[in-house]
Amino acid sequence: MNETLEGKLKGKIALVAGATRGAGRGIAVELGAAGATVYVTGRSTRGRRSEMNRPETIEETAELVTAAGGEGIAVPCDHLDREQVKALVERIDREQGRLDVLVNDIWGGDPLTNWTDPVWKQDLDKGLRLLRLGVETHIVTAHYAIPLLIRRPGGLVVEITDGTEEYNRDRYRFSLFYDLAKASVNRMAFALGKELAAHKATAVAITPGWLRSEMMLDIYGVTEENWRDACAKEPHFAISETPAFIGRAVVALAADPDVARWNGRSTSSGALAAVYGFTDVDGSRPDGWRYMVEVQEAGKPADPTGYR
């Protein structure tokens, strides 16, 4: 946690939906480091793995939140199950009587994504399942959680996606189903912003850059301690960022008394770092999306100089 953000959210209540690993875990931990009480949800528990079949659990995330200085509360929840989501929000209301920050980070679509084939060659059931996991879950959660969030002015809804609205607008994101899921989440923040404005609440879509999630580190066979070794296989990995970076972006927004200026907008962890001044854990400010356009897509040699 950057020193300027410590304790900024003491007394605040947050729900990070989809906090088992990756960006969701990073966001939950940084909210905790800022003093918040954080309800963390997901389908992977110490007793049962989700279809992601990863070792990370929501109990571990809650413990990391508490160790960081907040209070982490793990609640198993399938966000496609309306009754589970309804019960989750009722529990938060019963225990806290308020909700200040809702983070929709639910995804789980990577194992379902076909990165190469056109829609007519894809497994339709997998594609539609991906859309349900990546889009419907966000809608269900917003439906049940927002009435509690708008009970007090100043609430914040954060939609986590891949790519800003500007970036995704004229770029094809690997496959129809993936493209549609990520564009939909950006549009969701825009639409929610329109609906929340009258209640003095804010909705923002945020994308991390090239995220050094647990799964990405495993793919490259590295750890957070030696992640730079992966640059031998993929030189552009030099621009990557930790999950803490987007976590600090969310904290900066949640602590901003003028957060309404972001309402309905789509932005990135790197762009927010330039505005608020927070850094990644190594003290840098990686601007992954600007790098992607100006270096990677431009066919230039990998060099993060000036981009972190």
As a residue count, the chain comes to 308
Mean local confidence (pLDDT), 234-260: 98
Q: How confident is the model at residue 52 (pLDDT cuts 50, 70, 90)?
A: confident
User: Is 304 part of a structural domain of the chain?
Assistant: no
Provide mean pLDDT across the span 216-236.
Answer: 96
| pLDDT one-digit tens code per residue, 257-275 | 999 999 999 999 999 999 9
| Main-chain phi, psi angles of 202, to 5 degrees | -130, 140
And the tokens for 173? 């994101």
Q: Which amino acid is at 145?
A: A
Average the pLDDT over 71-94 and give the result. Answer: 98
For residue 228, give every residue at least 6 positions away whose Cβ sits within 8 Å of its Cβ, in sequence order, or none.
Answer: 238
Closest CA to 33 of 46, 14, 20, 17: 14
Asked whether residue 236 is domain-assigned, the answer is: no
Find out whether 1 and 66 touch, Cβ atoms under 8 Å. Answer: no
pLDDT given at position 89: 98
What local confidence, expressed as pLDDT, does residue 3 receive?
Answer: 62
Question: Is residue 306 domain-resident?
Answer: no
Q: Is residue 293 part of a domain?
A: no
Give the model's pLDDT for residue 274. 97
- Residue 53 belongs to domain with CATH number: 3.40.50.720
C-alpha 252, offset from chain centre = 14
Stretch 186-206: mean pLDDT: 98
Give the contacts of 273 (CB within 8 A, at least 6 positions apart).
245, 248, 249, 279, 280, 285, 287
Sheet with 266-268, side-by-side order of all strands: 71-76, 37-42, 13-17, 101-104, 156-160, 202-207, 266-268
Q: For the chain, what is the domain count?
A: 1
Inside any domain, residue 225? no
pLDDT recorded at residue 51: 85
Cα(195)–Cα(36) distance, integer angstroms: 26
Rounded distance between C-alpha atoms, residue 77 and residue 157, angstroms: 19
Measured distance CA(270)–CA(247) in Å, rounded: 12
Judge whether residue 227 has pLDDT over 90.
yes
pLDDT band for 22, please (50, 70, 90 cuts). very high
Say which range, 6-10, 36-40, 284-288, has the weakest mean pLDDT: 6-10
Structural domain boundaries enclosing 13: 3-212+243-287
230 belongs to a structural domain: no
On the question of pLDDT at 207 being above 90, the answer is yes
Give 51 or 260, the one with higher predicted confidence.
260
Q: pTM higher than 0.85, yes or no?
A: yes
- According to DSSP, the β-strands at 101-104 and 202-207 are unpaired
Least confident of 52-56, 92-96, 198-202: 52-56
Task: Look at residue 224 and tell me if it is in a domain.
Answer: no
Q: What is the DSSP letter of 303?
A: -
pLDDT at residue 6 tops 90: no
CA distance 73 to 75: 7
d(CA 250, CA 16): 11
Residue whose structure tokens are 């790197």:
270
- The radius of gyration of the chain from alpha carbons, rounded to an integer in Å, stands at 18
Residue 294 lies in a domain: no
Q: Give me the DSSP letters along 166-202.
A: HHHHTS--SSHHHHHHHHHHHHHHHHHHHHHGGGT-E
What pLDDT shows up at residue 5? 75
Residue keyed to tokens 């917003």: 142
